Chain A
Amino acid sequence: MAEYADEVIPVSVDGAEDTVVADTAAARRTARRDGLAVGLATAVYGISFGALAVASGLDVWQACFLSLVMFTGGSQFALVGVLASGGVAAGGSAIATAAMLGIRNVIYGMRMKPLVAPPGADGRPASVWRRGAAAWITIDESTAVALAQSDDRAARTGFWVTGVVIFVGWNLTTLAGALIGDAIGDTRAWGLDAAAAAAFLGLLWPRLKRVQAGAVAVGAAVVATLTTPVLMPGMPVLVAAVVAVAVGWFDLFTRRRAE
Chain B
Amino acid sequence: MTTWHIILIASAATLALKLAGYLIPAGFLERERPARIADLLTVALLAALIAVQTLGAGQDIVIDARVPAVIVAAALYALRVPFVVVVIVAAAVAAGIRAFS
Contacts and interface: CB of A to CB of B under 8 A. Distances in A.
Given A113-B21, A198-B90, A199-B87, A81 B49 contact: yes
Contacts of B20: 106, 109
B59 interface: yes
B17 A102 contact: yes
Contacts of A205: 77
Interface string A76-103: 0111011111001001101101111111
Contacts of B29: 106-107, 110
Contacts of B48: 220-221, 223-224, 236-237, 240-241
B19 A244 contact: no
Interface string A102-127: 11111111101100010000000000
Contacts of B22: 109, 112-113, 117, 131-132, 134-135, 138
B1 A88 contact: yes
A94 B7 CA distance: 9
B18 A221 contact: no
Interface string B83-101: 1101111111111101100
B16 to A, nearest CB: 9
A193 interface: yes
Nearest to A3: B42
Contacts of B50: 197, 200-201, 204, 221
Contacts of B82: 41
Interface in B33-55: 33, 35-55
Contacts of A231: 59
A164 interface: no
Interface of B: 1-7, 9-11, 13-15, 17-23, 26, 29-30, 33, 35-56, 58-61, 65-66, 69-70, 73-74, 77, 82-84, 86-96, 98-99
30 contacts: A57-B3, A62-B4, A72-B14, A78-B45, A81-B53, A91-B5, A91-B6, A106-B18, A106-B20, A117-B22, A135-B18, A189-B98, A190-B91, A191-B69, A194-B65, A195-B88, A197-B54, A197-B69, A198-B90, A201-B86, A202-B73, A204-B50, A216-B40, A216-B47, A225-B61, A236-B48, A245-B41, A248-B36, A248-B40, A249-B33
Given A41-B82, A213-B40, 11 more contacts: A45-B87, A70-B15, A74-B42, A85-B53, A100-B41, A106-B29, A191-B69, A193-B94, A198-B91, A244-B37, A248-B40
